[in-house]
Amino acid sequence: MSRLSFITYRLSFTTPLHIGDIRPEDYGTTERFLRSDTLHAALMACWAKLGEPIPDSGDPGFFISSLFPFATVEDEPVYFFPKLMKPFDLGDGPIGYAKKLKRLQWLDQHYFECQLNNISVNGFGGENQPHLTGSFACREKAGEFITSQVSQRVTIPRQREKDNEPVPFYMERLYFKKGAGLYFLFQGDSTAARKLEKALNLLQYEGLGTDRTVGNGAFCFTKGTIGLDVPDSSPHSANLSLFCPESSRQMESMLGQGAAYDFLKRGGWITTEGAQTIRKRAVYMFKEGSIFQMDQPTAGRAAIDLSPTEDFMQLGHKIWRNGSSIFLPVKT
């Protein structure tokens, strides 16, 4: 096995967090983690506010993963990774915990490295699988570190008329236990890291997610490092970010034998002042944890133009989505 090192940025949220999905009008359910393209867009918006130059290509010059959960156990961070779209090595014989495996979404570093290297998981801690708790597999006793609360809100129209009454709706928001939050991996040089941190210093007050104007999504961040044990060589790799291939030819070459994947539609509302009622165009990307056949290094499309095509829309700037990804070799 080889060891790959990454910089980590841990985001500890100081206010509640709501992360929207593809249903823009449904606030009653929140996602449990934040996608890489959302963070890329937020970073670019912060650079623009700070007067930093934005590359015409839309390429920030570094790679980041999506934002995954982390907890703290005995003053040490416990990082969770998405379960890969490949089976575990469960040994010989029948298993009696298939339903638990079906609910599993997140793996601590130990079980993630087991899946990367196709190492037996030894029953997830023995009889009754003590390391399987809900959607998490963890050797440490992290407990419940993410909770949610659904509260009722009301939309009050600007123009109060008879046929324009206030409309109630529900919003689910996430709360993180002390020492818990979301983190992402960073891959780039020291210059790129400084540029990233400059944006994070503003973004922590701007916030992430929905309802930032009323204080949601504020955070403080901590920098760290992590080393992952990966296969020395493998014809397959897994993505830790949303991924959009650079061309149809590249995609065809990656979807060969042993590939396993799922798609996600990305789009949403424009956040530029004066254009909040206009939607971006949409693009489909490969979900985190997909498995691809890769015989050469691959990055993905760093700049996908989702600017509206309507003639009346004159934004003065492009609407970019980033489809580049961090990849890890994986045994299948």
Domain edges within the chain: 2-329
**Over 60: is that where the pLDDT of 311 sits?**
no
Q: Which pLDDT score is estimated for 302?
A: 86
Range name among 15-19, 187-191, 291-295 with the lowest pLDDT average: 291-295
Is residue 10 over pLDDT 70? Answer: yes
Q: Which of the four pLDDT bands, split at 50, 70 and 90, describes residue 236?
A: very high
Which is higher by pLDDT, 85 or 168? 85
The whole-angstrom separation of Cα 215 and Cα 30 is 17
**Rg of the Cα trace of the chain?**
21
Question: 186 or 152, which is more confident?
Answer: 186
* Residues whose CB is less than 8 angstroms from the CB of residue 263 and which lie 6 or more positions away in sequence, other chains included: 284, 285, 286, 287
How many CB atoms are located within 10 Å of the residue 86 CB?
19
**Can you give the pLDDT at residue 274?**
61
The span from the CA of 61 to the CA of 169, in Å, is 40
**HEC assignment per residue over the chain:** CEEEEEEEEEEEECCCECCCCCCCCCCCCCCCCECHHHHHHHHHHHHHHHCCCCCCCCCCCCEECCEEEEEEECCEEEEEEECCCCCCECCCCCCCCHHHHHHCCEEEHHHHHHHHHCCECHHHHCCCCCCEECCEECCCCCCCCEEEEEEEEEECCCCCECCECCEEEEEEEEEECCCCEEEEEEECCHHHHHHHHHHHHHHHHHCCCCCHHHCCCCEEEEEEEEEEEECCCCCEEEECCCECCCCHHHHHHHCCCCCECCEEEECCECCCCCCCCCECCCEEEECCCCEEECCCCCCCCCCEECCCCCCCCCCCCCCEECCCCCEEECCC
Residue 185 burial class via C-beta count within 10 angstroms: exposed 0-12, middle 13-18, buried 19 and up? buried
- Quick one: average pLDDT of 144-169? 80
pLDDT digits (tens, 9 = 90+) for 115-127: 999 999 888 988 8
Of residues 208 and 59, the one with the higher pLDDT is 208
Angle at 282 between CA 172 and CA 195, to 5 degrees: 75
| Per-residue model confidence (pLDDT) at position 276 | 62
Q: Residue 162 has what pLDDT? A: 64
**Chain-centre distance for alpha carbon 37:** 8
Residue 191: phi and psi, rounded to 5, are -65, -45
Which pLDDT band holds residue 23 (cuts at 50, 70, 90)?
low
Average pLDDT for 48-56: 86
175 and 12 in contact (C-beta within 8 Å)? no
What value does the mean pLDDT take over residues 42-69? 90
158 has a pLDDT exceeding 80: no
Query: To 10 degrees, what angle do helices 36-50 and 190-206 make?
Result: 90
> Of residues 187 and 123, which shows the higher confidence score?
187
User: pTM to 2 decimals?
Assistant: 0.91
Query: Bigger pLDDT: 113 or 247?
Result: 113
**Range scoring the smallest mean pLDDT among 11-25, 76-90, 140-154, 156-170:** 156-170
Cα–Cα distance measured from residue 113 to residue 83, given in angstroms and rounded to the nearest whole number: 11
Structure-derived torsion over alpha carbons of residues 11, 177, 84, 295, reported in degrees to the nearest 10: 20
Of the candidates 244, 271, 330, which has an alpha carbon nearest to the alpha carbon of residue 49?
271
β-sheet bridge partners, residue 111: none
Q: Count the alpha carbons within 13 Å of 285 in the hemisphere toward its beta carbon.
A: 30
- 55 alpha carbon, distance to own chain's centre: 23
* Identity of the highest mean pLDDT range in 54-63, 153-162, 295-304: 54-63
Report which listed range, 53-57, 148-152, 286-290, is most confident: 286-290
CB atoms within 10 A of CB 210: 18
Confidence at 58, pLDDT banded by 50, 70, 90: confident
Residue 247 in this model has a pLDDT that exceeds 80: yes
Predicted confidence (pLDDT) at residue 280 exceeds the cutoff of 90: no
Q: Please tell me which of 29-33, 178-182, 294-298 the model is most confident about, judged by mean pLDDT.
A: 178-182
Bigger pLDDT: 318 vs 245: 245
Q: Report the pLDDT averaged over residues 268-278.
A: 67
Q: What is the pLDDT of residue 40?
A: 94
pLDDT at 92: 72
